[in-house]
Amino acid sequence: MGQNTDRRALVRDRFDRAVGYEGAATMQRVAAQRLFEKLQERMEGRVPLRILELGCGTGFLTEKLRNAWPQADIVATDIAPHMLERAQQRVGEGLCYRIMDAGEPDVSGSFDIVCGNLVFQWLEHPQQALARLGRLLSPGGILALSTLMDGTFQEWRTACAVEHEESGTPDYPSAASIGEWHPSLFNGGWETEASVQTFSNGRAFLRHLKETGASVPRAGYRPMQLLALRRSLARFDAQGSVVTWRLAYGCFQKPPRAGVFITGTDTGVGKTFVSACLVKAWEALYWKPLQSGLAEEAGDTPTILSLTHCAPEDCLPPAGAFQAPLSPEAAARAEGVTIDPASLALRMQEPERPMVVEGAGGLMVPATETLMMCDLAAQWGLPVVLVARSGLGTLNHTLLSLEALRQRGIAVAGVVLNGPLNPANRETITEKGKVRILAEISFQADVSAQSVEGIAQTLPSWADVRGGA
pLDDT of residue 19: 47
In percent, the amount of the chain with pLDDT more than 70 equals 93
Q: Which long-range contacts (CB under 8 A, 24 or more apart) does 225-231 make?
A: 225/165, 228/160, 228/163, 228/165, 231/162, 231/163
Label the pairing between strands 137-148 and 242-253: antiparallel
Range of the domain at 345: 259-467
The answer on 300 and 225 residing in a single domain is no
What is the pLDDT averaged over residues 181-199? 94
Residue 359 marked as a ligand binder: yes
pLDDT digits (tens, 9 = 90+) for 267-277: 889 999 999 99
Rounded distance between C-alpha atoms, residue 204 and residue 191, angstroms: 30
Residues facing 98 on adjacent strands: 77
Residue 5 has pLDDT above 60, yes or no: no
The answer on 266 and 223 residing in a single domain is no
pLDDT greater at residue 163 or residue 236: 236
The answer on 120 and 76 residing in a single domain is yes
Residue 3 has pLDDT above 80, yes or no: no
Rounded distance between C-alpha atoms, residue 240 and residue 254, angstroms: 44
* Residue at which a domain ends, from 227, 254, 281: 254
What is the value of pTM for the model shown? 0.90
The answer on 339 and 214 residing in a single domain is no
pLDDT digits (tens, 9 = 90+) for 344-402: 999 999 999 999 999 998 999 999 999 999 999 999 999 999 999 999 889 999 999 99
| DSSP-assigned letters across all residues of 416-461 | EEESS--HHHHHHHHHHHT--EEEEE---SS-SHHHHHHHHTTSPP
Residue 114 marked as a ligand binder: no
Residue 361 marked as a ligand binder: yes
Residue 111 marked as a ligand binder: no
* Residue at which a domain ends, from 254, 288, 315: 254
Query: What total number of domains does the chain contain?
Result: 2
The answer on 193 and 127 residing in a single domain is yes
The answer on 222 and 300 residing in a single domain is no
Residue 6 has pLDDT above 80, yes or no: no
The answer on 55 and 154 residing in a single domain is yes
The answer on 104 and 163 residing in a single domain is yes
Q: Which of 185, 141, 153 is nearest to 47 (CA)?
A: 141
What is the pLDDT averaged over residues 178-196? 94
Residue 186 marked as a ligand binder: no
* Residue at which a domain ends, from 254, 288, 321: 254
SS3 407: helix
Residue 197 has pLDDT above 60, yes or no: yes
pLDDT of residue 176: 93
User: What confidence tier does 467 reach under pLDDT thresholds 50, 70, 90?
Assistant: confident
The answer on 263 and 249 residing in a single domain is no
Residue 271 marked as a ligand binder: yes
Residue 358 marked as a ligand binder: yes
pLDDT digits (tens, 9 = 90+) for 64-81: 999 999 999 999 999 999
The answer on 153 and 133 residing in a single domain is yes
CATH number, domain containing residue 282: 3.40.50.300
Residues facing 51 on adjacent strands: 74, 113
> Average pLDDT, whole number, for the chain?
91
The answer on 136 and 111 residing in a single domain is yes
Catalytic residues: 288
The answer on 32 and 175 residing in a single domain is yes
pLDDT digits (tens, 9 = 90+) for 126-161: 999 999 999 999 999 999 999 999 999 999 999 999
Residue 21 has pLDDT above 60, yes or no: no
CATH number, domain containing residue 48: 3.40.50.150
pLDDT of residue 296: 87
